[in-house]
């Protein structure tokens, strides 16, 4: 016989006659609390005696266990959500975790009194009606989604946030955590309302703009140094060759490798020591994408005028690169040639001990800096 609860009624279906009785007017007796003999009684139906082994659910399937069937029968009445001429009876539980195993309760509806979990982490189980499909509990109340205005305001806690409104929240354009910022920003954290160097800082749009506009972020640094003097001879030629301080037969190019920043614009600067033959010698320094000799360096070239004393002097050259692809690795070589005589590009290292007369120059140094989002003002006319 099928015995199951539907709405506010207990139904008894022996395959020939379907009897229905109001749930709260049906009495039940068992031979013991864990027994398998049941006696159902009502004024309209009289008494129905039956063994658990003969009881089926609404779909003709045996209940999983005596305790599973007892859960349904013992809790036949509970919270009533409707009034007037008809009623729907639901059992009430405190929250989603309090719901019983849905497996033996196919077709059963429970009312969950309070929400559980959070919207943000996807664990929210809202209050409302839950239906057992025999495998899990299905929420039958339609979730209420927050509008984009609600999400941007951030003051409502009882509505869902959809992926669309989450992705387009205005706060994403105003804030980001310091863990997503680069080393330049990290350096500023300790002086900007932080209790210690590990505390995450949330930056406003104004702060981010200021940080992005700073032109002091070092992207890469190359140093060519040696305990003794090392040199590269630049000869008169129309072709520029890569500066290579290889006095010990090991290539030591004046090159730098860097990752293009989000701004796509950087400054590449070289500082070096050189001896030009005389004032008629014009040293030309170029920036190229390989160590191959070239007459047309990738990023152009500059002329460095000579001195007439034939002594060692410090020189520098700066190249501005724009239109770089953010996140892409770039390698650049400094190349050199001269128009007359020769030039000796030299490098050594910092000296220790007392000051002394010495002909040892400084190391050759190359650095790449991010220019940020600043606008490069070229040839202003006023």
Q: What is the pLDDT of residues 172-213, one digit of tens each?
A: 655 444 444 444 444 444 444 433 444 445 545 555 545 544
How high is the pLDDT of residue 118?
76
How high is the pLDDT of residue 84?
37
Q: Are residues 98 and 69 in the same domain?
A: no
Structural domain includes residue 146: no
How high is the pLDDT of residue 90?
55
Structural domain includes residue 58: yes
Q: Are residues 120 and 52 in the same domain?
A: no
> In 3-state terms, what secondary structure has residue 184?
helix
Task: Choose among 255, 262, 259, 334: nearest CA to 298.
Answer: 334
Region of 324 (left: φ > 0; alpha: ψ -120 to 50; beta: rest) is beta
At residue 34, does pLDDT exceed 80? no
CA atoms 182, 187, 192, 193: torsion sign: positive
Structural domain includes residue 11: yes
Q: Are residues 59 and 26 in the same domain?
A: yes
Structural domain includes residue 164: no
Structural domain includes residue 380: no
Q: Which domain holds residue 297?
A: 218-351+358-370
Q: How many domains does the chain have?
A: 4
Task: Choose among 4, 127, 139, 140: nearest CA to 76.
Answer: 4
Region of 169 (left: φ > 0; alpha: ψ -120 to 50; beta: rest) is beta
pLDDT tens digit string along 146-159?
Answer: 788 888 888 877 67
Structural domain includes residue 10: yes
Number of Cβ within a 10 Å radius of residue 31: 11
pLDDT band at 76 (very low <50, low <70, confident <90, very high): low
pTM: predicted TM-score of the whole model, two decimal places: 0.46
Structural domain includes residue 244: yes
At residue 3, does pLDDT exceed 60? yes
């Amino acid at each position: 016989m099928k015995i199951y609860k539907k709405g506010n009624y207990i139904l008894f279906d022996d395959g020939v006659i379907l009897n229905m009785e109001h749930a709260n007017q049906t009495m039940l007796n068992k031979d013991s609390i864990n027994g398998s003999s049941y006696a159902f009684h009502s004024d309209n139906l009289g008494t129905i005696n039956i063994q658990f082994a003969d009881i089926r659910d609404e779909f003709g399937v045996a209940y999983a266990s005596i305790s599973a069937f007892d859960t349904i029968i013992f809790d036949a009445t509970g919270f009533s959500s409707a009034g007037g001429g008809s009623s729907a009876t639901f059992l009430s539980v405190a929250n989603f975790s309090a719901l019983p195993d849905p497996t033996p309760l196919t077709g059963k509806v429970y009312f969950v009194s309070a929400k559980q979990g959070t919207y943000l982490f996807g664990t929210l189980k809202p209050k409302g009606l839950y239906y057992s499909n025999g495998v899990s509990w299905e929420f039958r109340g339609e979730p209420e989604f927050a509008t984009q205005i609600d999400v941007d305001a951030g003051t409502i806690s009882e509505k869902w946030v959809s992926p669309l409104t989450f992705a387009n929240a205005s706060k994403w354009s105003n804030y980001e955590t310091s863990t997503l910022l680069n080393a330049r920003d990290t350096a500023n954290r300790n002086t900007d309302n932080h209790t210690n160097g590990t505390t995450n800082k949330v930056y406003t749009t104004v702060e981010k703009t200021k940080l992005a506009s700073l032109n002091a972020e070092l992207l890469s640094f190359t140093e060519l140094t040696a305990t003794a003097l090392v040199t590269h001879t630049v000869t008169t030629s129309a072709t520029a060759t890569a500066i290579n301080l290889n006095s010990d037969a090991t290539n030591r190019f004046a090159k730098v490798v860097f990752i293009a920043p989000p701004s796509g614009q950087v400054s590449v600067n070289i500082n070096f020591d050189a001896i030009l033959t005389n004032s008629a010698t014009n040293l030309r320094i170029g920036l190229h994408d390989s160590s191959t000799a070239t007459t047309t360096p990738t990023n152009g070239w500059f002329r460095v005028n000579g001195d007439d004393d034939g002594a060692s002097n410090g020189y520098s050259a700066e190249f501005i690169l724009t239109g770089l692809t953010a996140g892409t690795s770039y390698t650049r070589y400094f190349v050199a040639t001269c128009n007359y005589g020769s030039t000796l590009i030299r490098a050594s290292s910092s000296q220790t001990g007392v000051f002394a007369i010495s002909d040892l120059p400084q190391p050759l140094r190359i650095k790449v800096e991010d220019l940020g989002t600043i606008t490069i003002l070229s040839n202003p006319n006023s």
